[in-house]
Amino acid sequence: MLERPGADWPFNPDWTPEFYEWLCKNARSYEAMEREVSQILGYKWQSLTDKQFKMINIDLGKSYYMFS
């Protein structure tokens, strides 16, 4: 099994070793993760700060889908 120190998840047999290497490399820092997500989306993307995340209040009884 392919494992890397510091990875929070085991290698999934559906993943290629190259994808797993990319995942582990880019999960090491917020900056690397934000850079890769931005590249995939085609625009600058930033994750929420811990403070912003803690301020989120979600009503679990409400549907947030347009067509529900």
Q: Where are the domains of the chain?
A: 32-68
The better pLDDT of the pair 14, 57 is held by 14
The better pLDDT of the pair 4, 61 is held by 61
**pLDDT band of 7, cuts 50, 70, 90:** low
User: Residue 27 corresponds to which tokens in the numbers above?
Assistant: 């999960």
Q: Tell me what pLDDT residue 63 has.
A: 78
- Between CA 52 and CA 59, with CA 57 as vertex, the angle to 5 degrees is 155
- pLDDT tens for each residue of 37-62: 999 999 999 999 999 999 998 888 87
